[in-house]
Amino acid sequence: MKPARFFCLVAIASATFLPASAVADVPMDSIRSLSESVSGRVVEWRRDFHEHPELSNREFRTAGIVAEHLETLGMEVQTGVAHTGVVGILRGGKPGPVVLLRADMDGLPVAERNDLPFRSQARGEYNGEEVPVMHACGHDTHVAILMGAAEVLSAMRDDLPGTIKFVFQPAEEGPPMGEEGGAELMVKEGVLDNPPVDAAFALHIDAIQQVGRIGYSRGPRYASVDDFGITVHGKQSHGASPWSGIDSVVVSAQIINALQTIVSRNMRITEQPAIVTIGSIHGGVRSNIIPEKVEMVGTIRSLDEGMREQIHQRVREIAEGVATSMGATVDVRIPLSTSYPVTANNPALAETMIPVLEQVAGASNLDELKPTTGAEDFSFISREVPGFYISLGGRPLDTPASEAAAHHTPDFLVDEGGFDLGVQAMAAMAWEYLSSNQ
């Protein structure tokens, strides 16, 4: 992979891929022209954010740059939403509904290995420890793309049939321990009100999907996520005389094995996948002491809210039943700290927007995606109002998918040549919804 590829714009001209039938209500010529005029600045913004990433609920510098940009565009700007969030309200010259466009702003505690002139060398504090910080999930691209879309749409405000809320969200990766944050807190603080939002859109850069392509789904896109904790209480004893105690380690092992039957024996896995994973287990200090207590934590993923509730119930029943049968007791906590609903695209909204994406990228450059067991807190927005969440290709044309670095890794890297498609997609989807729902 050649890093120099990322220092220039790759020419992916969506005008070359116009479908046979166009969406009549979207002024694509104007959107394309304005997007091209701001494309260089979008790249500059992205590189600046990449070089100066900030952790969840600490996006002060990023928020300041965003707020200043929205103010120069003449928007009503709210700051300090859900700690560091920014909301810009663009009121069009014509009456109509309200659309929300969202970008997440936070980086991750990851040390970057890429050899880029705008490589991050930032440091931050994560749960009381000093850590390196990197935009290892592409949120820097989301912010820059939405800033570009804001500039495009504000230049068209006189003809805009409605209102657009540009939402720059903190803490999508989860707030620090002991804090609230993210989309959940923004919704709680009223981001969907004043004026009330009718539909919401978001995108995510995808380092595995080829640049120049856009992905979508017509239903569930990302799984719900709930972390959970189980503490097993036994009776401590000498390792040489286990009969004199209640072995919390053996009880824990039986619980872990039994938990694996939830997906294989209780879930209708032909309908939607689900996952129950134990990721950490701790107990004891010596080889010859059976500990009184063992603690384990894990994650639950589901693409169906009914299955999600059933899994929660079965985790409790299994942990309590196994413990009781072996003379121990348990404390089960679901969720432990993180709890996101399923991120599902509204099927009717998806059908309306697919022709728009065909205009932007060309029908041959769209990918209908299967749901994944990752999670996204845009779900807190899309469960309240119809939502549509797309992916934007970021893998260079000359890089095989098998060689592309995954998200949340030190080598995560995206091609900047697809940013124009992101700006156009966000602007075009907003316009289509507003003009079609008068």
Of residues 112, 184, 216, 340, which has the active-site annotation?
A: 340
Identify the CA nearest to 246 among candidates 237, 238, 255.
237
Task: Give the long-range contacts of residues 1-6, CB within 8 A, separation 24 or more.
Answer: 1/396, 1/399, 1/403, 1/413, 2/398, 3/114, 3/115, 3/116, 3/413, 5/396, 5/398, 5/415, 6/116, 6/413, 6/414, 6/415, 6/416
- pLDDT at site 313: 98
- Categorize the per-residue pLDDT at 16 as very low, low, confident or very high, splitting at 50, 70 and 90: very low
126 an active-site residue? no
Please give the single-letter amino acid code of residue 178: G
pLDDT in tens, 72-83: 999 999 999 999
Q: Count of alpha carbons within 13 Å of 362, Cβ hemisphere only?
A: 11
Which tokens go with 435? 């003009």
The DSSP secondary-structure symbol of 176 reads P
Q: Virtual CA dihedral for 116, 118, 119, 120, nearest 10 degrees?
A: 180
State the pairing for strand pair 123-126/129-132: antiparallel
Identify the CA nearest to 224 among candidates 297, 298, 306, 308.
308
Question: From CA 258, how far away is CA 287, in angstroms rounded?
Answer: 25
CATH architecture for residues 3-221+342-436: 3-Layer(aba) Sandwich (3.40)
pLDDT in tens, 174-213: 999 889 999 999 999 999 999 999 999 999 999 999 999 9
Alpha helical stretches, state H, 326-409: 347-361, 379-382
- Categorize the per-residue pLDDT at 24 as very low, low, confident or very high, splitting at 50, 70 and 90: low
Lowest mean pLDDT among 16-30, 282-296, 334-348, 369-383: 16-30
340 an active-site residue? yes
The DSSP secondary-structure symbol of 285 reads S
Residue positions counted in the chain? 438
Which tokens go with 86? 């920014």
Question: From CA 53, how far away is CA 355, in angstroms rounded?
Answer: 35
Question: From CA 168, how far away is CA 283, in angstroms rounded?
Answer: 42
Of residues 216, 416, 432, 433, which has the active-site annotation?
A: 416
Q: Is 397 left (phi over 0), alpha (psi -120 to 50) or beta?
A: alpha
Does residue 166 sit in helix, strand or coil? strand
Question: From CA 199, how far away is CA 220, in angstroms rounded?
Answer: 17
* Percent of the chain clearing pLDDT 90 (strictly above): 93
CATH architecture for residues 224-339: 2-Layer Sandwich (3.30)
- pLDDT at site 337: 86
Map out the domains of the chain as residue ranges: 3-221+342-436, 224-339
pTM score of the predicted model: 0.90
